[in-house]
Amino acid sequence: MHWTLAHRAQKMNPSVIREILKVTERPGIISFAGGLPSPKTFPVEVFAEACAKVLKEDGHSALQYASSEGLVALREQVAAMLPWEVDPGQVLITTGSQQGLDLVGKVLIDPGSRILVETPTYLGALQAFAPMEPEVIGLACDEEGPLLQDLQHQLGVDTDPTDAPTEPARRRLLQLDLEPGRTFPRFMYLLPNFQNPTGRTMTEARRKAISEGCWALGLPIVEDNPYGDLWFDAPPPATLTSRHPNGCIYLGSFSKVLAPGLRLGFLVAPPDLYPKLLQAKQAADLHTPSFNQRVVAEVLKDGFLDRHVPTIRSLYRTQRDAMLTALDRNMRELDVTWNRPDGGMFLWVRLPQGMSAIDVLPHAVEKGVAFVPGAAFYAHAPDPRSLRLSFVTATVDQIHQGVAALAEAVREHRDRT
């Protein structure tokens, strides 16, 4: 049989991270590689009770087909949970926020459409968008997020985009642009809170500038925020979507605050765009499992997240602190640098000049520790010195042991080369 692959299938690649995760499943490996939340945070007993209750009280509906928009009660809970005024009618329940990315890609990207992303950015988004064959443009970024000057450069505007919005720009944003325009980017994909992979957070000043600039120029924003609730010392600044809801699609998830196995996320879209995303959702999977939606709606009753999320914050803060201490102890004299994330699950490390994280990885695995080389997260021109460490799944002891082993691998690799 001769199978002829569609052009878009040729754009699909195995996830580098999933390949690395296979190695980390070997017994004895301390893994800083995965993007998995700590299973200690999964409220198993609460789910056992909620499942039993849903089956007893609502079993037949919970096991039936349901509407594509999602369970009304859950959409109302999501709208009430978000810290800006959201109409539950604009909430679409998705099968993980990963599905939100897929739907956004299907609805907004034509082959050759330009899309803007951070440098580096979430690998799963690059994978979700790739089959739609966009021209992906990685914006230059610093510790505070994308650089406004580079955004202006990519858009070909010399004026300060924070100037008052022009009417045509506003119209382009508010009307659904159905013409396949190849030059003006379709959207900018941003992760302002505790970004995956770097752990960085966009400052208030940068949010304001980016948000005002995009609104003025008519550039839509896709804001992905699965980690925003996992702050350690203070909540992050207001979301981009809350500033201009008509200029943004907001993606949220229950994966990091409840459990990823539920595959439950949501998006909030402006009224003009919502029906198209809904049609794409219908075609993709009809609806997100109704049983899971009902169980989560049951769990969320009575403000469960307000009690539960602080326990996750506190656990992850302890683990982040352990990793910072271990890095300080083992890596200083090696000229390795790293950042200090204010929340989330990841920390970003840079190896000394001339070293490559991909080359260090086999030595690290030999020594019993794994990480993800940063190169996986770049749309173009990867920084070979960068790597991502997750601090949430290993125990504090394992963090100390693993970072010492990683330092050993870096030292040996340096001495050999």
Structure token pair of residue 194: 């505790």
Nearer residue to ligand PLP within complex by CB, 261 or 310: 261
∠ CA 370-373-377, nearest 5°, is 135
* b/e per residue 355-383 (b: at least 16 CB within 10 A): bbbeebbebbbebbbbbbbbbbbbbeebb
Beta carbons of 193 and 228 less than 8 angstroms apart: yes
- 187-190 and 114-118 beta bridge pairing: parallel
Does residue 236 bind ligand PLP (CB under 6 A)?
Answer: no
Interface residue with ligand PLP among 226, 270, 343, 402 (CB under 6 A) is 226
Stretch that binds ligand PLP, among 94-102, 182-190, 277-285, 323-331 (CB under 6 A): 94-102
CB of 397 to ligand PLP, least distance (A): 25
Nearer residue to ligand PLP within complex by CB, 215 or 377: 377
Interface residue with ligand PLP among 260, 270, 368, 384 (CB under 6 A) is 260
Integer Cα distance of 366 and 372 in angstroms: 15
Beta carbons of 29 and 365 less than 8 angstroms apart: yes
CB of 343 to ligand PLP, least distance (A): 13
- Chain centre to alpha carbon of residue 338: 20
Beta carbons of 319 and 230 less than 8 angstroms apart: no
Structure token pair of residue 344: 């989330």
Does residue 105 bind ligand PLP (CB under 6 A)?
Answer: no
Nearer residue to ligand PLP within complex by CB, 18 or 301: 18
Nearer residue to ligand PLP within complex by CB, 37 or 161: 37
Subset of residues 62 to 91 that bind ligand PLP, contact rule: CB under 6 A: none
Stretch that binds ligand PLP, among 19-27, 252-260, 276-284, 404-412 (CB under 6 A): 252-260
Nearer residue to ligand PLP within complex by CB, 47 or 215: 47
Residue 93 β-bridge partners: 266
Residues near ligand PLP (CB under 6 A): 35, 96-98, 122, 124, 191, 196, 224, 226, 253, 255, 260, 265
